[in-house]
Structures are given as C-alpha cells and as structure tokens.
A and B are shown apart, each in its own frame.
Chain A
C-alpha cells in the first residue's frame, strides 16, 4: 500500500516537474533575450584589441615626401583617430579632440581616411589640428589593416603599440571618460 502511495507521489512530483519545466525554459530564454535588449547590434569587438599595431608605411597628410610607419606611433600611450572631411561625426568630435590634446595633453595620431589631401589639409588649417601627425590613407589600405569599418574610429594604444581599446563613433564627454581612465592608467604604468 505504502509502496503504491509512494509511486503515486513520485508520478505527481514528475508531473509537477513537467509543468514547471516549460516555465523554467521560457524564463531562461526570456533572461537570455532580455540581456540583449538595449545592446547596440552595430557594436563589434575589434579583433585588433590585445594585438600590436599592424605594420605599415604611408605618407603623411602634411607632405607626400614624409613617410611614417607604426614605429612613429609607438613610445607612449596614445590615441589613433580615423577621420575624413566627408564625415559629419568627425566634424562634431573635432573640437573635443582639440580640447583633450591641448588641455589634457593627450597624444593623438590621425588617420585621414578615404579623403582628398587638399580638403583635409584645409580642414586642419580651419579647425586646428589635435594630431601629432596625420597619416594620409586615401585608399583605405591602412584602414583595412586596422579593421576600420568607417570614420570616425578611435583606437587607444599603449607605450608598446598594443591596441588596448577601440571606440566606434564620436569621441565626446560621454564616450571619453572610460577611455580616459584606461589612458591614464597606461600613463601611470609607463612612468
């Protein structure tokens, strides 16, 4: 009698488990999908993070006679900012770049991406240049090596030229602080 009662109890428990199981599965699926809400589907992990800057040689924007390579960017923590005159967001962030270069002493290298030399030179003359120097990349060759998707993009490198982080989009009061924190800790590391 008790054995049968236990058996009945067992099926009852199983039945209850079976009823709860779909709820648990639905809940787990819900949680999984919920954490995706608000995430930017355009945000991609740069595969360059944690790796050394690619090797390249290119002319500078200032002069077709001056050749630079990745070694010219290595030595101190710095930003590499990909920009173009056809890019409205680049225009929007330019003043901000000027400010952090002048006031915070941030070392910034420019990569002029898919642009015309005259227009780009004029742009820097009119708006001021936050850059130590700008690499002229009219065909996007350096862009491909860096994994650039579109301007603006900003890379943070350490003193050894390892890419630490990457920002796609505008650098401003909202996006700079997290990068700045990393930049400052890199500075402390080198001193």
Chain B
C-alpha cells in the first residue's frame, strides 16, 4: 500500500521532469529536414524572456511565438546555430541563454561551487592534520612524567577501546 503510493508519487514527480513535448513544432516548415531537429534544440536551450521559467518551445506567450517564428526564418535563411543564438543574445542579452556564459556578471555563479568544494577539502585536510601532532605537545618534562606514571601503574595503561562497557 505504502509502496503503491510511493510509486504513484514517483511517477507524478517524474512527469514534472520530463520535458513537455511541443505540440506546436509540426506547424513549422523547414527547407531541410534536419532543421526541424535544430529548431527543437534551439527552442529548448533558449529561454522565454517573458515567462522566465520556460524555454521558447514550451511558452505560449506572444514573444515566444515571435521568437520561434524568427528562429524558423533564420534557419531557413541558412544561419548557423551560433549565429541564431548570437542574434538572440544581441537583442535579449545573456539572459535568454539557459546556459549562462562565463563573464563578470556570472563569476560568482560559476566560481562559488568550485570554491565551496576547495574550502571543504581544505577544512577536511586541516582538521585531519591536527589530530596527529597533538601528543607531541607535551614538553620533555611532561613526557618523562607521563612515562613515570605509566610505569608506576601498569594495570591502568590506556585501553585499546575494545573493553568498553565491560563494567
């Protein structure tokens, strides 16, 4: 029962992830068949400037329709994918790209995760390194004193940890 609910839940979650097929795509005609594929690729990686959490393929807003028609025209004109994305960036800024380029404005976005990893690794190394030399912090006098104490009370030598909970 619980399992069924879980499976149903998982499937419904999955439907959110799977991109919604664009029913509109059939209505665009291209000079060459492979342009249809490039069209669907481009409208997937380009973001709708109006409804910002949708790509151009999914959005029904006026501007998304205009831009889809524009991409179709540019494709039929024989423009490359790069030329088409440049065309969009020139008018709508880097914003229109779902994959933001590396520049001053996106510096934090790109650097922060990598920096976090290095800070984490450094912290691990720093903490791990510290435990070893701690024993050496005793002065010579203190070390002698310790040896003395251990020698005097052999039955109280430090346990190796296996006999916890015996008493």
Contact = CB atoms under 8 A, between A and B. Distances in A.
A34 interface: no
B126 interface: yes
Interface residues of B, number: 23
Nearest to A143: B66
B50 interface: yes
Contact of B66 (A21, A32, A139): A139
Contacts of A25: 119
Interface string B112-147: 000000010001001100100000010100000000
Nearest to A148: B63
Interface string B36-50: 000000000000011
B52 A114 contact: no
Interface residues of A, number: 28
Contact of A48 (B91, B130, B137): B91
Interface stretch (A1-9, A56-64, A97-105): A1-9
B62 A140 contact: yes
Given A4-B137, A144-B67, A47 B93 contact: yes
Contact of A32 (B49, B52, B63, B108): B108
Contacts, number: 55
B63 A150 contact: yes
A14 B62 CA distance: 59
A139 to B, nearest CB: 7
Contact of B89 (A14, A44, A47): A47
Contacts of A18: 123, 126-127
A44 B93 contact: yes
22 contacts: A1-B139, A8-B137, A11-B130, A11-B137, A18-B126, A21-B123, A25-B119, A44-B93, A45-B95, A47-B90, A47-B92, A48-B91, A114-B62, A143-B63, A144-B66, A144-B70, A146-B91, A147-B91, A147-B92, A149-B63, A149-B92, A150-B63
Interface of B: 49-50, 52, 61-63, 66-67, 70, 89-93, 95, 108, 119, 123, 126-127, 130, 137, 139
